[in-house]
Amino acid sequence: MKILVAVKRVIDYNVQIRVKEDGTGVVTDNVKMSTNPPDDNAIEEAVKIKEAGKATEVVAVTVGEEKAQETVRKALAVGADRGIHVKVDGILEPLAVSKILQKVVDKEKPDLVFMGKQAIDDDCNQTGQMLSALLNWPQATFASKIDVKDNKLEVTREIDEGLETIEINVPAIVTCDLRLNEPRYASLPNIMKAKKKPIEEIAASDLGVDVSPRLEQLKVEEPPKRKAGIKVANVAELVQKLKNEAKVI
Amino acid sequence: MAVLLIAEHNNKELRPFTLNAATAASQIDSDVHAVIIGQNSADAAKQLSELPVVKKVLSVEGAHYENFTAENFAPVIVKLAENYSHIVCSANTFGKNLMPRIAAHLDTSQVSDIIKVISPDTFLRPIYAGNAFATIKSNDAKKCVTIRPTSFDPCESTGGSAPIEKVEASEEFLNTKFVKREEIKSDRPELGTARIVVSGGRGMQSGDNFKLITEIADKLGAAIGASRAAVDAGYISNDHQVGQTGKVVVPDLYIAVGISGAIQHLAGMKESKIIVAINKDGEAPIFSVADYGLEADLFEALPQFMEELNKLNTIQK
């Protein structure tokens, strides 16, 4: 079984983002960037499946500008075997990314494609589902547990009402929840070794995919700020304020 | 062209956020049709026909729709889409799972999780865990839009009498099989729609200690929430998680107990009307969004809170 894992470079989850004054987006210069957190879970799961002898190869792929390659390098350092970087500049919508990934799937013919359930920058939560639509493959979104059984996966999904379990036939797409596993850290020797692992570079323009945006981002602004509250001295004061001032209990 | 709303239901009745999505749909265009796909879902279809904003109900029945599998739902809606300008549903796990599959088939760039309809082609949506708002204009001929349910009021649920039309089922998708659903049943209000939410974080230290929260929630008629840290630690099940990748809640009162207030948690609750933070760390970021902050050890504060509530003559429910 061969597993393709898609990873995205995003502003680090700990960074308090700032909106650009001209309203064109958020500040990304000199801001710490990392792999989208649930994409780390996707890589971890693929590597674990390989370690359990149920997969033969883990390929990490990213789509984006030059520096996006860092995310592939990181995936190689925690156990992916090789990487693919589809190079493209500018804003990419999930639809465009899923079309590019479809081309990569056509070429690589993986049995499984894993990725995070949502990117923490645009919060779209679309790419995995779109890719499975384009390939007409089954989709297991928001996975918090994956059991590999021959040519099937049993996947537990986190849904609003609780948990749902589905069985999907391979080939299939799985989008990963943060609770799927605990991503490992790359050890220094593995980081060194990862530098020797191959990363294939592909120009998006060579894939014959129209990636032009369909959406126009007219404005990005700061959300309305909450006005500062007060600190209360004790529980009695808190309850009194909730009852008589806020009138919510 | 009309707007097509995808109803969310459990085959017996509509799920509450369908009403919020109906409001959003009606703000895009007053001509709203609603599709309901399920098995033996006639009662829910009838409920849908009674929403005054819905002008026509399309009912699709089939055994393979019983468990709301996106792979089975998407082809039905894609086929219906030719008659509609917009496809709309809630941005909860139902809609998040389903809508992109439809959008990709229609070659449309989806607009996710909108909080405001500015015009039929322009929407406001939060990005970066709600730390920025983006105004997005869609240039696709057909628009696929998911809406943040808590940002739209539920529509009226009675008084309408839309005609119900049967639509032919599509073929079953054979590569996905439903196995089971584990729903946590509770008599408490639903987290997404509750007037009061009491949430616990890592500071609760154990699942057992959540009973301190449960007691207060019972007293207040509140739903119980949790931070991701508390769910990850196994203190409470995932359906309680509030935050960027959990549920977004907008109650009248949100009480955050032992929650430090990571960006990802604030994303799910900072639009609440009144926020209370109880935390022993006076520097915790949760205090920056709290209307009332209490710097205290929660293990002392919660029993006192319960005592004070017991002293009150009346409590709003």
Smallest CA-to-CA distance from B78 within A134, A168, A216 is with: A134
Range of the domain at A130: 2-245
Closest residue in chain B to residue A177, using alpha carbons only: B245
Question: Could you tell me if B229 lies within 8 Å of chain A, comparing CB atoms?
Answer: no
Q: Which residue of B has its CA nearest to A11?
A: B128
Determine the 3-state secondary structure of B275 from DSSP: strand
Q: Do A126 and B238 touch (CB under 8 A)?
A: no
C-alpha span between A96 and B287 (Å, rounded): 40
Q: Is the pLDDT of residue B317 over 80?
A: no
Mean pLDDT of A186-201: 96
Note whether A138 and B173 are within 8 A (CB): yes
Q: Which of A26, A98, A229 sits opposite B291 (nearest CB)?
A: A229
- Pick from A234, A249, A242: nearest CA to B300: A234
Contacts of B227 in chain A (CB under 8 A): none
For residue A204, give every residue at least 6 positions away whose Cβ sits within 8 Å of its Cβ, in sequence order, or none: A63, A86, A87, A88, A100, A211
Is the model's pLDDT at B307 over the cut of 90?
A: yes
Q: Give B46 to chain A, closest Cα distance, Å.
A: 23
Here the tokens at position B310 are: 């017991």
Rounded to a whole number, what is the largest CA-CA distance in chain A? 68
What's the token pair of residue A139?
């989709």
* CB-based contact A26 B132, cutoff 8 Å: yes
| pLDDT cut 90: percent of chain B above it | 94
Residue A74 CA to residue A45 CA, distance in Å, equals 15
Q: Which two tokens stand for residue B135?
A: 């105004």
With contact defined as beta carbons under 8 Å apart, do A81 and A199 qualify?
no
Number of domains in chain A: 1
Interacting residues of A53 by C-beta distance below 8 A, sequence separation 6+: none
Select the residue of B101, B112, B133 nearest A223 (Cβ to Cβ).
B133
d(CA B33, CA B58): 7
Nearest-by-Cβ selection for A123 from B127, B293, B301: B127
- At B316 the pLDDT is 79
Distance in angstroms (rounded) separating the CA atoms of residues B44 and B27: 23
Q: Is B63 on the interface with A (CB under 8 A)?
A: no
Name the B residues in 142-171 with CB < 8 Å from any A CB. none
Q: Which residues contact B248 (CB under 8 A, 6 or more apart)?
A: B148, B150, B192, B242, B267, B268, B269, B271
**Residue type at A90?**
G
Residue type present at position A206: D
The sign of the torsion formed by the CA atoms of A210, A215, A216, A220 equals negative
Which chain A residues are closer than 8 Å to B212 by Cβ?
Answer: none
Q: Given A95, A162, A231, which is nearest B103 (Cβ)? A: A95
Q: What is the mean pLDDT of residues A58-67?
A: 97
Dist CA B261 CA B3 (whole Å): 38
**Residues linked to residue A248 through DSSP beta bridges, in sequence order:** none
Residue B134 pairs in a beta bridge with: A220, B125
| Predicted complex ipTM | 0.95
Per residue in B6-32, pLDDT (tens digit) is: 999 999 999 999 999 999 999 999 999
Alpha carbon B52 to its chain's center: 22
pLDDT tens digits, B120-156:
999 999 999 999 999 999 999 999 999 999 999 999 9
E strands, A187-232, in order: 199-203, 215-221, 230-232
Ordered by where they begin, the domains of chain B are 2-167 (3.40.50.620), 196-311 (3.40.50.1220)
Element at A47 (helix H, strand E): helix A37-51
> Residue B315: is its pLDDT beyond 90?
no
Calculate the average pLDDT of chain A: 96
For B123, counting Cβ atoms within 10 Å of its Cβ (0-12 exposed, 13-18 middle, 19+ buried), the class is: buried
More confidently predicted of A176 and A227:
A176
Q: What is the pLDDT of residues B258-304, one digit of tens each?
A: 999 999 999 999 999 999 999 999 999 999 999 999 999 999 999 99
Q: What crossing angle do the helices spanning B70-80 and A127-135 adopt, rounded to 10°?
A: 80
Q: Is A196 on the interface with B (CB under 8 A)?
A: no
How confident is the model at residue A116, as a pLDDT?
98
Residues A17 and A27 sit within 8 Å (Cβ to Cβ)? yes
Q: Determine the average pLDDT of the residues in B206-224.
A: 96
Q: Is A182 part of the contact surface with chain B (CB cutoff 8 Å)?
A: no
Q: Which of A11, A165, A237, A238 to mutate to test the interface with B (most CBs of B within 10 A)?
A: A238
- What pLDDT, on the 0 to 100 scale, is given for residue A226? 85
Say which CATH number the domain at A36 has.
Answer: 3.40.50.620
**Token representation of residue A189:** 């020797």
Q: How confident is the model at residue B184 (pLDDT cuts 50, 70, 90)?
A: confident
- Give me the total of CB pairs closer than 8 Å, taking one residue from chain A and one from chain B: 265
pTM for the complete prediction? 0.95
Q: Is the pLDDT of residue B160 over 80?
A: yes
